[in-house]
Amino acid sequence: MYYAKYMLHRDDPPREFASEEARMKALNHQVRPAADVARILDKVQVPNILWGTMAAYLVGDWRHYNEDIQFLVLDDLIQTASNALFAAGFTTCTDPGCDVVKTVKNDYLIPPVHFHIQALYPEHDVLRLYPKSSHLWWLPDFGTSTPAADDPHLMLSNDPRLPPYKPEGMSGPWTELYPIKILNRSSFTEAVLLLCFRDFDHANGLYFQWLDLINAAKMHPEGITLRPKFQAMWEEFTLPKEQLRRRRWEPVVELMKEMRANNELPPPPRINWFGTVEGAERARAWF
């Protein structure tokens, strides 16, 4: 899926720019909706984190086409967040037939709240709000204040410690817009690995998205340091092709099986991406 998306958009704007001004103009245009959402949610004291492909711009894969925007908020504040965004001009979608809430061939978790935002941001599509526990069950609750310099997981999107822009890589810090709370590159990578371990080969199909984000982090692994449980696997997984001594994904699968055997993961969401039990079984996916 990752490579299919990439190939589909090969004719999008080049990843190198004539000037720094041109680069920042393109970047600001893409991420401004996320900055606006963060500002609105921070104003009403709803702790939030940018998630998904747009967050991956800072991790290792700035794509020049626009993805849906995803935010995670504390579980008990979803409605407060929704109300604040509605008051700011975002229209909540309540259509039961909307593609965002379909359960078949939908590789996104169904959000409790979503907004179609093309009227506000013509080149963007959907804003999805999720409870933090659906993606980051392991992360302690947090507030709206700026993360401390030594915070092990959180930082802001304008943090100068983020790696600079690199063609075919990171977008560089978002220095000209309202700062957005994000996971640092290492915690983002661990988060996606945990989600993949939870959902891989399950009928919910969510692992398609997690594989996408793992590949985004793998593109530029330098500077990503994981907890000891993950680090050896990550180092082997990200070796250059000529240094591999076994199939690239084998260390990932080994750790996944170990964590599943030790009951270290929550149960996967019970959604059937394949539509029927028979379809899931043919794909060797289970519930």
225 lies in some domain:
yes
15 lies in some domain:
no
DSSP string computed for 7-25: HHTTTSSPSS-SSHHHHHH
Mean pLDDT value across residues 28-32: 94
12 lies in some domain:
no
User: Does this model's pTM top 0.75?
Assistant: yes
- Of 132, 163, 184, which closes a domain? 184
- Same domain? For 73 and 102 the reply is yes
Q: Is 62 exposed, middle or buried (0-12, 13-18, 19+ CB in 10 A)?
A: buried
**Residue 243, number of CB atoms within 10 A of its CB:** 7
- Same domain? For 77 and 152 the reply is yes
Mean pLDDT value across residues 3-25: 63
AA letter at 111: P
- Same domain? For 174 and 207 the reply is no
Whole-number pLDDT of residue 66: 66
In whole angstroms, give the CA distance from residue 268 to residue 219. Answer: 27
Q: Specify which residues 70 forms β-bridges with.
A: 51, 128
pLDDT tier at 5 (50, 70, 90 boundaries)? Answer: very low
How many domains, in total, are found in the chain? Answer: 2
- Same domain? For 126 and 201 the reply is no
Q: What is the largest CA-CA distance in the chain?
A: 56
Whole-number pLDDT of residue 203: 95
- Same domain? For 243 and 134 the reply is no
* Kind of pairing between the strands at 69-73 and 126-131: parallel
The predicted-structure confidence for 208-249, as pLDDT tens digits, reads as follows 999 999 999 999 999 999 999 999 999 999 999 999 999 999
Residue 4 pLDDT exceeds 50: no
The predicted-structure confidence for 160-204, as pLDDT tens digits, reads as follows 999 999 988 999 999 999 999 999 999 999 999 999 999 999 999
